[in-house]
Structure 1
Amino acid sequence: MTEHPQWFTSSYSSNGGNCIEVAVNLVATYGIVPVRDSKNVDGPILDVRTAAFSAFVAGVQAGHLGPL
Structure 2
Amino acid sequence: MPSLGWQELLLILLIVIIIFGAGKLPEIGGALGRGIKEFRQATRDESEEHDETTTETAAREPAPKDLS
Tell me whether the two structures share a fold, i.e. TM-score over 0.5: no
Q: How does the TM-score come out when normalised to structure 1?
A: 0.28
Larger Rg: 2
Greater relative CO (CA pairs within 8 A, separation 6+): 1
If each structure's helix is expressed as a fraction of its own residues, which one has the higher value? Answer: 2
If each structure's strand is expressed as a fraction of its own residues, which one has the higher value? Answer: 1
Q: How does the TM-score come out when normalised to structure 2?
A: 0.28
